[in-house]
Amino acid sequence: MAHFDTEYQRLEASYSDSPPGEENLLVHVPEGSKSPWHHIENLDLFFQRISFKNGFTCMLLGEIFELVQLVFVVAFTVFLANCVDYDILFANKFVNHTDSSKVTLPDAFLPVDVCSARIRDSVLVIFILIISGVFWLHRLVKFIYNICCYWEIRSFYINALKMSMTDLPYFTWQEVQGRIIEIQKEHQICIHKKELTELDIYHRILRFKNYMVAMVNKSLLPVRFRLPLLGDTVFYTRGLKYNFELIFFWGPGSLFENEWSLKPEYKRGGNRLELADRLSSRILWIGIANLLLCPVILIWQILYAFFSYTEVIKREPGSLGARCWSLYGRFYLRHFNELDHELMSRLSKGYKASSKYMNCFMSPLLTVVAKNVAFFAGSILAVLIALTIYDEDVLAVEHVLSSITLLGICVTVCRSFIPDKHMVFCPEQLLKVILAHIHYMPDHWQGNAHRYETRDEFAQLFQYKAVSNVFILEELLSPVITPFILIFCLRRKSLEIIDFFRNFTVDVVGVGDTCSFAQMDVRQHGHPAWMSAGKTEASIYQQAEDGKTELSLMHFAITNPHWQPPRESTHFISLLKEKVHREANPAFTSTHSLQSDSEPHSLIANLLMGPPSLASLHLGREGSINPVSIGVSEGASALRALSPVSTSLHLRGSYPSARLPRPDHPAVVAGRAMAGSGTDARTISSGSSAWEGQLTSMVLSEYASTEMSIHALYMHEMHKQQSRGEVSRHAWHGQESDESSESVNEDMEAARTFPRSSTFPTTSHQAGAAQQSGSQRRYGGTSDPVSGSFRAQRTPRMPMGGWSEENQMSRHHDPVPEEGSEDELPPHIHKFCKVFHCE
Amino acid sequence: MNCRSEVLEVSVEGRQVDEAMLALLHTILLHRSTGKFHYKKEGTYSIGTVGTQDVDCDFIDFTLVRVSSDELDRVIRKAVAEFKDALGNSGSDGMGQISLEFYQKKKSRWPFSDECIPWEVWSIKVNVVNLANEQERQICREKVGEKLGEKVINIVEVINRHEYLPKMPTQSEVYNVFDTSLKDVQPYLYKITYQITDSLGTSVSTTMRRLIKDTLAL
């Protein structure tokens, strides 16, 4: 290699302090890195930690208590097993005390040397102690690590985001996020882009959760089983979830190289069979490891359940009958890009209605039995208590205390089976209210709310606490069942899993590999039956089920009003918002007249509605009023009756305005008023500068949830219209004059014949779906015969859906003032509309 | 993830490996080096000068431009030589990857050592081809030269984009951004690592480190 010195040579003089004559020529001022927040290595974790904004002390205490609890459980168990003389406790053996005859607790303890000898002799105890010691040390190291990270986050909050720890609980996530986006401009925490968007932050925080949601949505995970006796069941526990995450995301040899990128070999289609083999053998090993660890986990679960729940059960036995959202439900109902706290607040709002709905289905037989058992148990209990009050010595009689406790539990349990006397059976309406909060439900529930099948399926999402993840049954069974699910069910799906990750992973600049569903791109993953007909280019394999893409998009756009969606999505959002707005707008004008006596109105509304499904169906047929708006209003009015927030919102959002005399159904008015106030107030406030500070953002987020509820109802209603329009077109002819009793039946039939969504598949359909996806992966999705025939089945729906929608619109326009007549509306409404479009 | 990564791919003959690698690595480093900083009392600094040098390659029709610092050259040559040996010893089809990673050091609290956070990674994938006769070699010589020229332009394009670079440090922090060990030039902190595709992904130590980190980050 030959070297040639160029003209550009180093000035040797610059070794000295500064080159001669250049002292004042080239002088720079270092910018320095004053904040340590530029260029953070692991932004995923960083944002995740920011998103549990509980304050440092909370986190610290929480972690410390967790560690202490662990020690306590182990130590206490060992103590109970080895150091207590139960004979003394049960008074089988007498202690000879010199001074008093009372037996004290310390009498029952064995002396220390005996105790330690017993512990030392038992191999099992030593073994358990060693294992838990190792586990505890692991937790301790993690604790120290976490605390350091939390400390860093704390100083980030204080120094960079300028939020003090005491105020932190009162900031909304949207505010925090807004500040992070501001910070990025200044410090460049992410180096790829100048500016971060809300979606980037959500993607990073929820990277893996989005994958899980998508996999549940596409029924890829083996969580639904058909058992011989129990029928269709869902089994999804925390243990199982942990294992799934271990396999896919972070365990040794998982599909992901690190937190943000899928291993490159999984992105190429070439050796998918080999990769699937590798994955399936990994699943096998993890399954076996689970099987081996099963006794340890099982013992831990039992102990933990015992210590945490016995007290609760004794104190309020009713909690056994209480329900909660199951883990599966949380995944089924979760939007893409929805943070934990957003999901939980949404589900909690639906809790009341959901438990009411479930209580509608009390079996009368059980009620009769429960009433009588409660009577007998109650009377014995009453006598015992009365006797005790009369003379305390009754308690000293053997088993009196225990029988009082048992009887008390018995009465409470029985009472939970006796329904409220004043309850009315109106499942359809309740389900609407639930839908307004949970946003997702399979198609075949609509119109079938009163059926037991629907109830059972809903129960899968909304389980008894006693059965579900929170305690006892499933969580206890989990360590035993999980390995078998892994080995026998998940392994079979390994090829599909490999394909899923390959097909649905996109590399987003500045974010890394994310699930493509989470992009919420209507064009790529839209479902034609969910209002994205004509916009979507997705094959069946690519469509998200249950309108997840569309609903998620709406949800995200509503919760993050500053987010700039891509162009097609903007179009979709503005179109939908406009439609909902138009439905809501006329009634907005009559808000004023309503607010004085809103309660009676909603009451009348509910009364007049009667069986709501019937009314909407009936009216919809006659074509006098757009059934969509009825559906929405029906839910909204019920919602209004239930939630106090919306009433206040309704008051806030109302403006003195010209009244348009409208011969409308009162319910429609009520509902529209709701919708109108919800959407309008929001648009105004996001536009105006006067509404600022914490209050605004709190209020905003409340509006946002109401607005989303209305959109969700509207979308479901449109979806129903669309699918019904298709299924029953052939059946409807010549029945226009028929009365509702028949048409209800027919509607039910229609709902039954309508292809169900695949997350709640019937058995036959499930087989079909499996077959379909099987062929899909073999041929890459477009050319295979099975999916072709499937398509043929579906495609006619698109034009037909379009037809029914058009029809709908034209019908709808008759009673409502036309665009031209909008001039008569007061001017500020126009302004809102404009603001709306700008958004 | 919070770092840019650029991938370059070249296929060369066995004896061209080191020259091709040197050409690319030197080109990148040329643009990622500055003169030595001389801090003044008032918190300002002046930047020393950097010379350049043209180097003709023996086995490729190519002339590379590098910073005229023998120390830097020595370090790079050593890394490339190691890579070439490893490539030769692997005995397989000769696929390898050498990566040049620019990073920043960040001080962390006592129990942990300083974090090295990369902000730009250049991965050069090498595919070694075997040639049958002298004529093919001659063609290859020219072709590789052209290819390297393209890559150099590529690199310059990437570097010319307005993207994140660590901010210029104050005197006390200069060690966290720049490699100040050389006496005539001051590149950004960099690390050269290589990987032979045959040895199945990452080495044991990195896997272990990741495992521990993963369990901690649960």
Q: Does the pLDDT at position A178 exceed 80?
A: yes
Contact call for residues B36 and B184 (beta carbons, < 8 A)? yes
Which amino acid would we find at residue A313?
I
Three-state SS at A448:
coil
Spatial separation of the C-alpha atoms in residues A787 and A781, rounded to whole Å: 7
- Cβ distance A3 to B54 less than 8 Å, yes or no, reads yes
Higher pLDDT, B156 or A258: B156
Could you tell me the maximum CA-CA distance found in chain B, to the nearest angstrom? Answer: 65
CA distance B176 to A764: 64
> Helix A567-589 and helix A666-687: axis angle, to 10°?
120
Higher pLDDT, A6 or A750: A6
Residue A609 · residue A615 · CB < 8 Å:
yes
Looking at residue B19, its pLDDT comes to 92
Q: How far apart are CA A552 and CA A530, in angstroms?
A: 12
Backbone angles phi, psi at B156, to 5 degrees: -65, -40
Q: Once rounded to an integer, what is the mean pLDDT over residues B109-121?
A: 76
User: How many other CB atoms are there within 10 angstroms of residue A425's CB atom?
Assistant: 12
**For A464, phi and psi rounded to 5 degrees?**
-65, 140
More confident residue, A687 or A415: A415
The answer to whether B46 contacts A27, with C-beta atoms less than 8 Å apart, is yes
Is the confidence at residue A691, as pLDDT, over 70?
no
B125, B10 Cβ separation under 8 angstroms = yes
Interchain proximity B168–A30, CB inside 8 Å: yes
CA A392 to chain centre: 51
Of B118, B166, B216, the CB nearest to A141: B216
CB A384 within 8 A of CB A407: yes
Query: What pLDDT is attached to residue B211?
Result: 59
Structural tokens at position A194: 């100048």
Using CA coordinates, name the residue in chain B closest to A143: B216
Interchain CB distance below 8 Å, A41 and B166: no
Percentage of chain A surpassing pLDDT 90?
9
Where are the alpha helices (H) located in A391-519, listed in sequence order? Answer: 400-417, 427-438, 452-461, 472-484, 494-503
Instruction: Report the residue from B51, B109, B211 with minimal CB separation from A148.
Output: B109
Chain B CB contacts of A5 under 8 Å are 51, 53-54, 68
Whether A28 shows a pLDDT value over 60: the answer reads yes
- Which of A769 and B143 is assigned the larger pLDDT? B143
Contacts of A514 in chain B (CB under 8 A): none
Is B44 close to A43, i.e. CB distance below 8 A?
no
* CA A278 – CA A256 distance, rounded (Å): 14
Query: Could you give the count of Cα atoms lying within 13 Å of A475 in the half-sphere of its Cβ?
Result: 22
Query: Closest Cα of chain B to A248: distance in Å?
Result: 13
C-alpha distances in angstroms, A612 versus A500, A594, A725, A743?
41, 22, 19, 14
Strand partners of residue B46: B38
pLDDT at A741: 39
Structure ipTM: 0.76
Chain B contact probe: residue of A5, A10, A263 with most B CBs at under 10 A? A10
Neighbouring CB atoms inside 10 A of A31's CB total: 11
pLDDT confidence band for A748 (50 / 70 / 90): very low
**Choice between A207 and A838, residue whose per-residue pLDDT is larger:** A207
User: Edge-to-edge, what's the strand order for the sheet holding B95-106?
Assistant: B4-13, B115-129, B95-106, B190-196
- Can you give the pLDDT at residue A31? 67
Task: Report CA-CA distances (Å) from A753 to A628, A633, A756.
Answer: 22, 27, 8
Q: What is the pTM of this model?
A: 0.73
List C-alpha distances in Å: A398 to A91, A389, A409.
Answer: 12, 17, 19
Residue type, A597: D
List, in sequence order, every residue forming a beta bridge with B52; answer none if it has no partner.
B67
B51 reaches A (C-beta below 8 A): yes
DSSP tag of A738? S
The CA-based angle A517-A508-A161, given to 5 degrees, is 100
Report B:132-161 residues touching A (Cβ under 8 A): none
Element housing B64 (H / E): strand B63-67
**Given the DSSP bridges, would you call strands B115-129 and B95-106 parallel, antiparallel or unpaired?**
antiparallel
Give CA–CA dist A296/A744, Å, rounded. 55
The pLDDT of residue B33? 92
Compute the distance between CA of residue B158 and CA of residue A445 in angstroms, rounded to an integer. Answer: 56
As a whole number of angstroms, the distance between CA A355 and CA A357 comes to 5
> Does residue B138 carry a pLDDT above 50?
yes
Contact flag B115-A138 (C-beta cutoff 8 Å): no
pLDDT by residue (tens digit) across A440-484?
Answer: 988 888 888 888 888 888 888 888 776 654 556 777 888 888 999
Q: In the structure, what pLDDT confidence band is assigned to residue B101 with cuts at 50, 70 and 90?
A: very high
- What is the SS3 assignment for A534? coil
Backbone phi and psi for residue A5, each to the nearest 5 degrees, phi listed first: -80, 130
C-alpha–C-alpha distance, residues A328 and A505, integer Å:
23
- List CB contacts of A426: < 8 A, sequence separation 6 or more: A360, A611, A612
Alpha helices in A533-611 (DSSP H): 548-559, 567-589, 591-595, 598-609
- Crossing angle (nearest 10°) for helices A785-794 and A763-779: 120
Q: What is the mean pLDDT of residues A676-691?
A: 41
pLDDT tens for residues A260-278? 888 888 888 888 888 899 8
Mean pLDDT rounded to a whole number for chain A: 71
C-alpha pair distances (Å), A131 with each of A136, A296, A367, A368, A533: 9, 9, 48, 51, 57
Helix segments in A625-693, DSSP class H:
627-642, 644-653, 666-687
Average pLDDT over every residue of A706-722: 85
Residue A257: pLDDT over 50: yes
A249: nearest CA in chain B? Answer: B214
Q: Which chain A residues contact residue B171 at CB under 8 A? A: 30
pLDDT exceeds cutoff 90 at B22: yes
**Beta strand B190-196 pairing with B37-39:** unpaired
Helix axes A598-609, A612-622, angle to 10 degrees: 80
Taking CB atoms and an 8 Å cut-off, how many pairs form between chains A and B?
Answer: 147
For residue A147, the distance in angstroms to the closest alpha carbon of chain B comes to 12
Residue B133 distance to chain A (closest CA, Å): 23
Average pLDDT score over residue span A291-309: 80
A553-563 per-position pLDDT tens digit: 999 998 888 88
b/e sequence A584-602, b meaning 16+ C-beta within 10 Å: bbbbbbbbeebbeebeebb
Cα A655–chain centre separation: 35
The Cα of B126 is separated from the nearest Cα of chain A by a number of Å equal to 17
- Contact between residue A273 and residue A494 where contact means Cβ atoms under 8 Å apart: no
CB environment A213-244: b (16+ within 10 A), e (fewer): bbbbbbbbbbbbeeeeeeebebbbbebbbebb
Residue A49 — left, alpha, or beta (φ > 0 → left; ψ -120 to 50 → alpha)?
alpha
- CB-closest option in B58, B68, B167 to A10: B68
In chain A, which residues have their Cβ closer than 8 Å to the Cβ of B36? Answer: 14
Partner residue facing A1 (CB), from B56, B167, B214 = B56
pLDDT grade, residue A234 (50/70/90)?
A: confident
A170 band by pLDDT with thresholds 50, 70 and 90:
confident
Cβ–Cβ gap A19/B48 under 8 Å: yes
Nearest in space to A627 (alpha carbons), one of A713, A512, A694, A499: A713
* First-last CA distance in chain B: 18
Mark yes or no for CB contact A14/B171 under 8 Å: no
pLDDT per residue as tens digits for the range B198-214: 544 444 555 566 556 65
**pLDDT tens digits for A244-256?**
998 898 877 788 8
- In this predicted structure, the answer to whether residue A695 has a pLDDT above a threshold of 70 is no
The minimum CA-CA distance between A557 and chain B, rounded to whole Å, is 26
Counting Cα atoms < 13 Å in the Cβ hemisphere of A324 gives 12
Q: What value does the mean pLDDT take over residues A496-507?
A: 91
- The residues, any chain, with a CB within 8 Å of residue A520's CB and separated by 6 or more, are A336, A337, A549, A552, A553, A556, A565, A569
Residues A612-624 have pLDDT tens digits of 433 333 333 333 3
Whether chain A has a CB inside 8 Å of the CB on B2: the answer is yes
Phi, psi of A198 (to 5 degrees): -60, -40
Q: Which three-class secondary structure state does DSSP give residue A82? A: helix
Is residue B189 within 8 Å of residue B102, measured between CB atoms?
yes
Q: Nearest CA of chain B to the CA of A145: how many Å?
A: 7
- How many Å is the Cα radius of gyration of chain A? 32
Contact A384, A394 (CB under 8 A): yes
The domain locations on chain B are 4-207
Q: Model confidence over B183-201: pLDDT tens digits?
A: 889 999 999 998 886 544 4
Q: Which tokens go with B216? A: 């901690």
> A44 to chain B nearest CA, in Å?
9
Q: What confidence category does residue A496 fall into, taking pLDDT thresholds of 50, 70 and 90?
A: very high
Question: How many other CB atoms are there within 10 angstroms of residue A643's CB atom?
Answer: 21
CA A691 to chain centre: 30
pLDDT band per the 50, 70, 90 thresholds, residue A728: low
Record the tokens describing residue A3, joined without a space.
């070297």
Q: Are B210 and A258 an interchain contact pair (Cβ–Cβ within 8 Å)?
A: yes
